[in-house]
Amino acid sequence: MMLVVMVLWVLVSASSSVYSNEEYGRQVLTAAKEDKNWLVSIRRKLHEHPELCFQEHNTSALIRSELENLGISYTYPLARTGFVAQIGTGSPPVVALRADMDALPLQELVQWEHKSKHDGLMHGCGHDAHTTMLLGAAKLLNQRKDNLKGTVRLIFQPAEEGGAGASYMINEGALGGAEAIFGMHVDFTIPTGTIASLSGPMLAAVCFFVARIEGKGGHAAEPHINVDPILAASATVLALQQLISRELDPLQSQVLSVTYVKGGEALNVIPAYVELGGTLRSLTTEGLQRLQQRVKEVVEGQAAVHRCKASVDMKEDEFPLYPATVNDERLTSHVDRVGSMLLGPHGVKAAKKVMAGEDFAFYQEVIPGVMFGIGIRNEVVGSIHSPHSPYFFLDEDVLPIGAALHTSIAELYLMEHQPPPLVK
């Protein structure tokens, strides 16, 4: 029994000494910064050749080629263009790191040497950086594989931008035996060299909807013999806004935005139908599902009041519902400790809740996970614009920082989650 106690004491002491030792953080960060030129070159190649969801063939091929050069094995394909690399002992515990690879249907307006070479396509959300940082972590973890007390799965995922690529990766076995997962997203609101984390709900559950309200078209001079869908649509838009203002608990967070209304073209003709659509968001998945139901009821009810018929399509075939991103408290504390070790106590900030969506939430429905922000704000280089802006620009100093964080988060997680020794 005394032997067992001594073994446990050694394990705990080793873990504590790592966390109290600033030298560990400097060592990993220094090693990552030695690879900065390589990381920048990879990221710029990805940025010049953006690919949309499930079309990331060249992106996938480039990263897989780099993994092969490093002697790192991977499983391909998953979810068409995705793949999973694996480093470590091959035994439990298993921890996963994730990066998304897809770009946006956006025309880049930043004039620089490595601007997108494909009109109408842009890495305007930082996924080229995410992919590069995870590749950098793969190299570091492979160099440090003798330190790994378990297995790291590196998930290179397609189709985050509306394609729910995470759900496809899960269905095809990307998580393996992972018991926890970590992901990061560039954040233009905090400076390079910092991270922002938050326990609990962080990003919203998201879906889209399209409603069609059908009446009876005819000449505008004779509204009494027509059935006016314009009037019904107008009443519907106003009624939908009351779902948030009058039915939602003021202490909860939801968004309902009608983003377009289409109906007719002639100035003297009442159209036969009107189409309107928008997006729904909630910081809980259950709240979004309730809101979906109420939207259907309100649209159909308002149409009936005005003698029209209505149908509502939540567009889940094209844009699957994304669950809310809810960070595990224990794993968030782990991210904070590692972040402080690498970036100093002032390098970790409290994140703000955002009503944007992120398909990382699909992983969190299966195992505990954390999505956190990594700062890229740098006024000097022009890294000040939000994701999905045609002027979005990246401070490339973030690349080795992200690689080091991924590496340390995984390495120290495995060290802290060793199975207890067998008692004989």
Q: Binding site, residues?
A: 125, 127, 161, 185, 388
And the tokens for 154? Answer: 């590196």
* DSSP string covering 30-81: HHHHTTHHHHHHHHHHHHHS---TT--HHHHHHHHHHHHHHT--EEEEETTT
Please, what sign has the CA dihedral across residues 403, 103, 120, 210? negative
d(CA 48, CA 114): 6
Residue 51 identity (one-letter amino acid): E
Are 204 and 281 in contact by the 8 Å Cβ rule? The answer is yes
Q: How far apart are CA 69 and CA 10, in angstroms?
A: 37
Residue owning tokens 């067992």: 4
CA distance 147 to 152: 12
> In sequence order, what are the beta bridge partners of 203?
325, 354
Report whether 230 contacts 263 (CB < 8 A).
Answer: yes
Helix H or strand E segment including 365: none
Dihedral sign computed on CA atoms, order 60, 66, 67, 71: positive
Q: Which long-range contacts (CB under 8 A, 24 or more apart) does 299-305 make?
A: 299/211, 299/213, 299/236, 299/240, 301/239, 302/232, 302/235, 302/236, 302/239, 303/213, 303/214, 303/229, 303/232, 303/236, 305/232, 305/235
Distance of CA 380 to the CA centre of its chain: 27
- What value does the CA radius of gyration of the chain take, rounded to a whole number of Å? 25
> Per the structure block, which two tokens stand in for 251?
């202490």
State how far the Cα of 315 lies from the Cα of 121, in Å rounded to an integer. Answer: 23
Binding-site annotation: residue ranges for Mn(2+): 125, 127, 161, 185, 388
Taking residue 337's Cβ as centre, other Cβ atoms within 10 Å add up to: 15
| 3 state SS of 348 | strand
